[in-house]
Structure 1
Amino acid sequence: MSTPANGNLSRRSVLRGTAGAAGLFTAGGLLTACGGIKESSAQTDAVLRIGYVSPSTGPAAGFGEPNAYLMKKLRATFKSGLKIGGKTYSVEIVDRDSQSNPQTAAQVASDLINSEKIDLMLVTSTPETVNPVADACEAAKVPCLSTAVPWEAWYFGRGATPEKPFTYTYHFFIGVAEIHAAYTSLWTKGGVETNRRVGVMWPNDPDGKAIRQGLGPQLKKSGFRIVDPGAYEDGTNDFSAQIAAFKKADAEIFNTFPLPPDFATFWKQARQQGYRPRIASIAKTGLLPSQIEALGSLGHGLSAGFWWSPEFPYTSTLTDQTARQLADDYEKSTGKQWNQVIGSNMALFEVAVHALKATSDPKDRKELAAALGKAKLTTIAGPLDFTSGPVKNVSTEPLVMAQWRKATGGGKFAVEPVIVDNGAFRDIPLGGELEPLR
């Protein structure tokens, strides 16, 4: 068993993980052929087995915070099974922890596909987890749906092109276009004046590479000057060179896509060394209350993209709960503050059930994969449409910008996100205006 990731997840290690998965299933494909397993699962016809992989430990463990709650809730939702084509199927969810490690993600994917004989794979949160699992499923011809990774990092990072898309793996989330629109709207219309110089700290990993190639040029076209000291390795513990570059350029806007421990290290060093931008918009970390609380007062004023919150005006197709009702239920059941992963992961199962019900035989892997590619529905995370791109295999979703602030009113939680820019998504209400960092 691989040890949990310690933050040193280089691009090479990610590629090793995905390549390992592909190699595993190239060999596994021969074994499967010899064993006579067809594209339909060999499990009992009346049972649908859904694999679910998420990082519950390791550097990205925050993304797994809602898992216990969601698994309990979804298993209760499926207790009477699913009726598909006049037949009722019982549903089993087999969940696994990727440990935030691409090698472990590939290993648990192997177990779910070869030992558990799942009919459908669901996977969420960061390329280090999602990409190796999706690669394994594509190689083994197992339908897979994923979320919570910028789609370019998932699509191009796994070697797809518009001319050569995937057959069994599908994904929904935001992409560079949504991030660019949200950032530029906040930075130009949010009410905080800046010199439009953006200090960027984009890592040498799938997220960082996709953002540097896609977002960087778009920001330049929008009139921002990019101050880029170059890609850094995950797990870096001294950011003095980057901080010096940002201070020299007087970068009044800061943007980064780091692993949570890396940002905590950088942000503390930035304050110690006197770098104080007026706006700091972060992604991959700073998305969850626990990550902001860990920074103490240094977390107040950070802004981040939100792909779900209780303010979203949508309802779950599985539980009939509004976004607010789901968040309140989570807080009441767990005693923890809601976070946006709850919405995307609930939507993951909503799309899965929608696709399963669209098949004549949900255990026919090829038919189920095709149904994922035709899915069009409004989930608790908003409208999704796999038939309209931006590329085959992908649907985008809404994104707004929120700013983290110290909670007011004597509530039981320390911080709260306030939606300060809704861009093109006017049906998602604002909660306040952007305030400059102090």
Structure 2
Amino acid sequence: MTNIFTGGVTRRQLMVTTGAAAAAMTFMRPAWAADTLKVGFISPRTGPLAGFGETDGYVLEVVRKAIAGGIEIAGKKYAVEIVDQDTQSDPSRAGQLAKDLINNKGIDMMLVISTPETINPVSDACEAAGIPCLSTVMPWQAWYFGRGAKPGEPSPFKWTYHFGFGVEEFHKTYVSQWNLIQTNKKVGVMYPNDADGNAIRANLAPLLQKDGFTVVDPGAYETGTTDFSSQIALFKREGVEIINTFPIPPDFATFWRQAAQQGLHRKVKIVQVAKTGLFPSTIEALGPLGVNIASAAYWHKDFPYKSSIAGISGPKLADGYEKVSGKQWTQQLGATLSLFDAGFEALKKASDPKSKDAVAKSLSTLDTVTIGGKVDFTSGPVSNVSPGPIIGTQWVKAPEGSRFKFDYVLTENVTDPNVPVRAKLLPYSG
């Protein structure tokens, strides 16, 4: 079976790619290339965070096909070698892999994606070694302040850059989304004791309170908690009608199943889940409890943008993946491709792509459009960061005749009005 490209990716090729996640997959250096650019790519493709890396094998094949003939920069042609690695969802391993790519593979640029557990240790390794690094898919505050930057002070980072949503985008989206259904505005929050949870608690909760929401916070919980009875009891006692949480998938599954056993699911009208709730596999694992879970999309196949590196639209990217894999598309497809879009654009605009200083300078002035939307490091909110959209979504039952159990629909678009709203938010019913 082939994808939408002529001579596209076969199922066997995809399986080989995904089955060798920790191995470097490279192109032969063509005779015409005087130089080869080496780009490292690190993501979590196995372990608890594997949902974030599930589609990376396919995206890598798309990118490698697009650059198979090399890329031209300032009149000179370069071959490109992408060296990809799997963190196995282990932060320590992420840092070790980054050091190996830097010290032993001689990469010219690092691309890293998905969650602080992956991005922050890789970014720290690159900053220490003087390697240009670009990342996406985590709240930028958890990346910027979580790595030691201080509010109101100059950025301490020269080599590392991050684009995508932040707390402000979550705030705008959640208020927009939650106002679509009448509630008592009591929000039960489950923010873990990690970089994401701590950044969200410190920055998002106060903004929600200013907008008239009552935040019921039982305190930070530890990843891997198996008993959420005390949190559930508090939410029931306070009569919360909105749940908001930023857990890893196993923790949310445990919490929400226990919530259903104790009857909380019948009392809430909106269940807004971040980090978990992004991918079909984690929703399907919940069974009937997954119906009408609200989420948010940093990419959706209906985004009205095209990939600058591969020249394809969202629907074509999603359709191609489904044809090759037999699985439902996920928002990570566009997120990962947008990282390559932005990264290669920075290389192309560098005065010398083999110069670490030149690539870092190119990143600092990058202003481009990817399949995920605009990436612009020239306008703040702080140096080294380009904010991006997060769009309100919901998982609903797929229409009759669909290949898949759920449909992922867009319900609001306050952070990017160019994105079309396709559906009305439905109240949660467990």
Residue of structure 2 in register with 1:185 after alignment: 176
**1:409 CA displacement:** 2.8
**1:411 CA displacement:** 1.0
Residue of structure 1 in register with 2:155 after alignment: 164
Contact 2:123 2:160 in 1 (8 A): yes
Alignment of 1:259-270 (within 5 A): 259-270=248-259
The one-letter code of the counterpart of 1:91 is: V
The reply on whether 1:343 has 2:304 as its aligned counterpart is no
Alignment of 1:323-334 (within 5 A): 323-334=314-325
Match of 2:411, SS? strand
Of 129-138 and 398-407, deviating more is: 398-407
Q: 1:164 to 1:400 in 2, by over 3 A?
A: closer
Residue of structure 2 in register with 1:362 after alignment: 353
Residue of structure 1 in register with 2:23 after alignment: none
Residue of structure 1 in register with 2:231 after alignment: 242
Contact 2:191 2:246 in 1 (8 A): yes
The one-letter code of the counterpart of 2:416 is: F
The reply on whether 1:196 has 2:185 as its aligned counterpart is yes
For the residues of structure 2 that align with 1:425 and 1:365, how far apart are their CA atoms? 33
Match of 2:110, SS? strand
For the residues of structure 2 that align with 1:388 and 1:293, how far apart are their CA atoms? 40
**1:321 CA displacement:** 0.9
For the residues of structure 2 that align with 1:107 and 1:238, how far apart are their CA atoms? 33
The reply on whether 1:62 has 2:51 as its aligned counterpart is yes
Alignment counterpart, residue 104 of structure 1, candidates 74, 93, 108: 93
Residue of structure 1 in register with 2:214 after alignment: 225
For the residues of structure 2 that align with 1:164 and 1:85, how far apart are their CA atoms? 30
Contact 1:45 1:363 in 2 (8 A): no
Aligned length: 393
Residue of structure 2 in register with 1:285 after alignment: 276
For the residues of structure 2 that align with 1:414 and 1:131, how far apart are their CA atoms? 35
Contact 1:61 1:100 in 2 (8 A): yes
Contact 2:296 2:393 in 1 (8 A): yes
The one-letter code of the counterpart of 2:350 is: T
Of 71-80 and 224-233, deviating more is: 71-80
What are the Cα deviations for residues 350-400 of structure 1, in whole angstroms up to 9, with x where unaligned? 111111111121010011011011111111101111111111001111221
Match of 1:344, SS? helix
What are the Cα deviations for residues 25-74 of structure 1, in whole angstroms up to 9, with x where unaligned? xxxxxxxxxxxxxxxxxxx9601000000001111000001111011111
Residue of structure 2 in register with 1:400 after alignment: 391
**1:424 CA displacement:** 4.2
Residue of structure 1 in register with 2:423 after alignment: 432
The reply on whether 1:417 has 2:399 as its aligned counterpart is no
Residue of structure 1 in register with 2:71 after alignment: 82
Match of 1:200, SS? strand
Contact 1:309 1:343 in 2 (8 A): yes
What are the Cα deviations for residues 113-162 of structure 1, in whole angstroms up to 9, with x where unaligned? 11111000000001001000000000000000000110000000001234
**1:425 CA displacement:** 2.4
Match of 2:363, SS? helix
| Percent identity between the two aligned chains | 52
What are the Cα deviations for residues 305-362 of structure 1, in whole angstroms up to 9, with x where unaligned? 1111111111111121111111111111221111111111101011111111111210
Alignment counterpart, residue 287 of structure 2, candidates 271, 275, 296: 296
**1:163 CA displacement:** 1.5
For the residues of structure 1 that align with 2:165 and 2:111, how far apart are their CA atoms? 17
Residue of structure 1 in register with 2:107 after alignment: 118
Match of 1:233, SS? coil
**1:427 CA displacement:** 2.0
**1:165 CA displacement:** 3.1
Contact 1:165 1:392 in 2 (8 A): no
Contact 1:170 1:393 in 2 (8 A): yes
For the residues of structure 2 that align with 1:92 and 1:163, how far apart are their CA atoms? 34
What are the Cα deviations for residues 238-289 of structure 1, in whole angstroms up to 9, with x where unaligned? 0000000100000100000001000000000000011121101010100011
Residue of structure 1 in register with 2:25 after alignment: none
For the residues of structure 1 that align with 2:350 and 2:373, how far apart are their CA atoms? 23
Match of 2:302, SS? coil
Runs of at least 5 residues in structure 1 that lack an aligned partner in the other structure: 1-43
Q: What TM-score, normalized by structure 1, do the two folds share?
A: 0.88
For the residues of structure 2 that align with 1:78 and 1:85, how far apart are their CA atoms? 16
Contact 1:289 1:337 in 2 (8 A): yes
The reply on whether 1:151 has 2:140 as its aligned counterpart is yes
Runs of at least 5 residues in structure 2 that lack an aligned partner in the other structure: 1-32
For the residues of structure 2 that align with 1:114 and 1:426, how far apart are their CA atoms? 44
For the residues of structure 2 that align with 1:424 and 1:93, how far apart are their CA atoms? 32
The reply on whether 1:72 has 2:71 as its aligned counterpart is no
Match of 1:421, SS? coil
The one-letter code of the counterpart of 1:385 is: D
Contact 2:38 2:108 in 1 (8 A): yes
Q: How big is the alpha-carbon RMSD for the aligned residues of Structure 1 and Structure 2? A: 1.1
Residue of structure 2 in register with 1:137 after alignment: 126
